[in-house]
Chain A
Amino acid sequence: MSSKPLQRLDRVVIRFAGDSGDGMQLTGDRFTSETAALGNDLSTLPNFPAEIRAPAGTLPGVSSFQLHFADHDVLTPGDRPDVLVAMNPAALKANLADLPRGGTIIVNTDEFSKRNLAKVGYAASPVEDGSLESWHVHEIALTSITVEALADFGLTRKEKERAKNMLALGLLSWMYSRPLDGTEAFLRAKFAKAPEILEANLTALRAGYNYGETTEDFAVRFEVAPAAMPAGTYRTITGNAAMALGLVSAAHRAGLPLVLGSYPITPASDILHTLSGMKRYGVTTLQAEDEIAAVGMALGASFGGALGVTSTSGPGLALKAETIGLGVSTELPLVILDIQRGGPSTGLPTKTEQSDLLQAIHGRNGESPVAVIAPQSPSDCFDIAMEAVRIATTYRTPVIVLSDGYLANGSEPWRVPSVEDLPHLDVEFATGPNDTDADGNPVFHPFLRDPETLARPWAVPGTAGLEHRIGGIEKADVTGHISYDPDNHDKMTRLRQGKIDRIADTIPDLEVDDPSGEARVLVLGWGSTYGPIAAAARLVRATGLPVAQAHLRHLSPFPANLGDVLRAYDRVIVPEMNLGQLALLLRGQFLVDVQSHTAVRGLPFPAADLAEVLHKAIAQTLEGVQ
């Protein structure tokens, strides 16, 4: 037991920041695991450059990991950190502006050399020139302490220095009363084949913990009690991992083999990596020659009766557009995962944005309707993947899932569902003739639709008697023969749209959260902004003002009651990480003058900023300002 006084906190936000090669993502991941094991609720925000190793010690090379944990439910990774761990001057400079005055800074003084300071434009060390007076600064020679702790090891100085992130992790674990055993087990597995490196990391980790215990620099340590959460088995999960598990679960429930065609692209590649290790679950992953081939392979697999899936980000979605159109025309199930990032063009590969909404809904030639859905949190990616498969297989249509970099890499606790509670996804293949010809003989008509869903039969090769030809050229209603008939094209165009519209019959109504029932302002979001918007609504309500919140997971089609919800409020605020794409759709479809609030900074909305927007909107509504 520690000899130092223990102070209880209800929530903490820590940001680990260092050079790309300093292991900050790993440090953050491990602290997250320790925190999850303690039963805190949490949310994380990794933030790293697109360059694999930008020049050491420079601002573009800074990589950070922010973690918010609490004794109550957590909605966001936190607007501003309480504690900043800065492994070098660049990390301090890049992150200081986010740290409120009075916050805690832990700096690795070993890295504050003249040369490193000069690299980021510091004339004098901010640790020494008094410019950090408003913060509580712990100056620690993390590198030299690590090297000293490892004095007896037969490693090079460089190898010893590399363990400094474990020293920092040990120290923070002590500060916030986190157990080390999970990390120790992790290191044992990771370095099983390198015993000396393993021992060095374990030694550095414990040295950091002991440093906190013995040094006079730290007078107190903190604890954050477990959060009250529904009973169950929990794990932490990132959005990309949840998406992969959701797809595997859906394929399992539907009894279909899963075929993923994919071309590596940030931030979607982890879905390919994860699924490539799940072959035992009937998963085939094909790394294609390009984005177009990737979706082509998926569509080919769907034609053959498998669950065809492709994963990508915005630039890849653009390349896949024509093949998705072929999926619309051939009316085959197809799931397209777009893990959005900053655009246009290459844009900001490692930063988040929601700017592919209009591309997903409208980004193809012709009238080419598809279903579009979006997860609202990392763990919701699991449920949304299953929903994508349900829609794709029931309605024989491409479904685009819009996740983003924030959800993909962010993590949170997830209550693991039991398999029997997962949705049933029964799939029916055509097995025989479905119609009769003029002479009364049984025939198969590939475009004779289900009267309820308007879906056409899924008749896969290998089924005798159902031989037919499909393709991108317009087909005659019912028979599926090539048709250039004007009336037929008009009818088929409306049927394809009608089929997508009918999906709304099977999705839940949009729910509005308005605890007081007195709100006149509604804040409506979609996708990954759920956490920041919900946190903002909480901040507003805490001041005694009512605000209603609703969040869309289905973007095409919209829930059937959306128009009614929009018209029930004096003012509707729509925050988006784009320049107002959902707002455009809402105005166009419902003639409601929603108020768009937008930012494209590559980062999630700070909840406090949104709360300010809502406060203003409520005040204006009360004053009767239009």
Chain B
Amino acid sequence: MTTGTDLGMPSPGGTHGVPRLPEDAPKQTKKDFTSDQEVRWCPGCGDYAVLAAVQGFLPDLGLKRENIVFVSGIGCSSRFPYYLDTYGMHSIHGRAPAIATGLATSREDLSVWVITGDGDALSIGGNHLIHAMRRNVNLTILLFNNKIYGLTKGQYSPTSEVGSVTKSTPVGSVDHPFNPVSLALGAEASFVARTMDSDRAHLTTVLQAAAEHRGTALVEIYQNCPIFNDGAFQLLKDRDEKEARVLTLAHGEPVRAGNDHVVVRAPDGSLAVVPEADAEPGSVLVHDATDEDPSLAFALSRLDDGSMTHIPMGVFRSVTRPTYDDQVRAQVDAARSTGGGTADDEDLAALLRGGDTWTVA
């Protein structure tokens, strides 16, 4: 028993329906998006770089500033909305995706962003995150992953490696971590990407693609916590190491690891990193972010063995499917158009009477 609403594919862009600045309006600048609040992250925190990238990139969207809303949960990164001069809500631990779902569904004219961290999104708010992604609500979710609880001062998080020695795990953690990209692909998020706080250019490109996507865009941002987990991603930043370890994903391009290695599809369908010279002709994986089936993207997300040997960066998946909020609104619109338009007083009177009345004179 299914009925669908035809939204006339292909779906419009991520900011469709959000009022734009007039063509002749002066171009917005980073300053327009900077609030009067003093930024209070620790010196050296990766969050500064992400904030600067977002403030620098938002003017490019050309949207009216008042139609942009940032919703966050709890954690260091969730202070983010206070520093942006847009509308914002710093909500409660883990619940930002749910609050943003209510907002985005009831307001087509808003560009809604969620700011969250590895503890906020994957521990206490794991349920809301996966359901937002499966529904495909038109939200852009920035998941700051520093693999540690910062605001509560250094306990291990759901992305910390097994054996992490932290304040709450003096002899090492025993729980297996989530890979946020694998999780998002498992929930069939329609847009999944990974980027890094220190790579401003890559960060901006990925954010741009995420903003243009209609549906839930999940962007994992590797973010350094200089106080409680300093250097967690150093191998991916180190000039000598990163070349071989970072696999830059580009749609339509072969997936390469460093200068001389490539990703190939083995006969059993699995992926492997091999020297380019050993690769069978035609076996090199050409990245297709638009593949409806998330299996290959998932396999890419599993290439690494947990030691940051092969970390793909970029857009894993970007597919088009109807969004939750568009369809919910379409059902309301359809009920109105088939029911004779927006209900007036007479319609309400008929509703109150119902089908079975009697009169007392």
Contacts and interface: CB of A to CB of B under 8 A. Distances in A.
A233 B359 contact: yes
B356 A306 contact: no
Contact of B95 (A229, A236, A323, A467): A323
A36 B360 CA distance: 11
Given A280-B335, A463-B66, A472 B90 contact: yes
B101 interface: yes
Interface string A281-318: 11110101110111011111111111010000000000
A498 interface: no
Contacts of B358: 36-37, 39, 233-235
B343 interface: yes
Contact of A230 (B66, B87, B360): B360
B361 interface: yes
A466 B358 CA distance: 51
Nearest to A230: B360
A417 B68 CA distance: 42
Contact of A323 (B37, B86, B92): B92
Contact of B356 (A236, A259, A261, A303): A236
B341 to A, nearest CB: 9
A466 B328 contact: no
Interface in A69-113: none
A470 B65 CA distance: 17
A297 to B, nearest CB: 3
Interface in A208-258: 229-237, 245, 248-249, 252, 257
B251 interface: no
A419 B98 contact: no
- Interface majority SS (helix, strand, loop, mixed), chain B: helix
Contacts of B71: 300
B312 interface: no
A33 interface: yes
A231 B88 CA distance: 52
Interface in B329-357: 329, 331-332, 334-336, 339, 342-343, 345-349, 351-354, 356-357
Given A249-B352, A290-B127, A304-B103, A466 B335 contact: no
A230 B359 CA distance: 10
Interface in B51-89: 64-69, 71, 81-82, 85-89
Given A36-B358, A230-B360, A286-B105, A467 B66 contact: yes
B101 A286 contact: yes
B91 interface: yes
B128 A293 contact: yes
Contact of A278 (B90, B102, B351, B356): B351
Contacts of A157: none
Given A39-B358, A279-B336, A469-B87, A326 B92 contact: yes
Given A416-B357, A419-B348, 18 more contacts: A37-B358, A231-B361, A233-B353, A259-B105, A279-B334, A299-B102, A300-B100, A300-B104, A301-B103, A418-B349, A461-B107, A462-B67, A464-B64, A465-B66, A467-B86, A469-B88, A470-B90, A471-B88
22 contacts: A33-B356, A229-B360, A234-B357, A252-B345, A280-B342, A284-B106, A290-B127, A293-B98, A300-B89, A300-B103, A300-B104, A461-B68, A461-B69, A462-B19, A462-B66, A464-B65, A466-B66, A467-B85, A470-B89, A471-B89, A471-B91, A472-B91
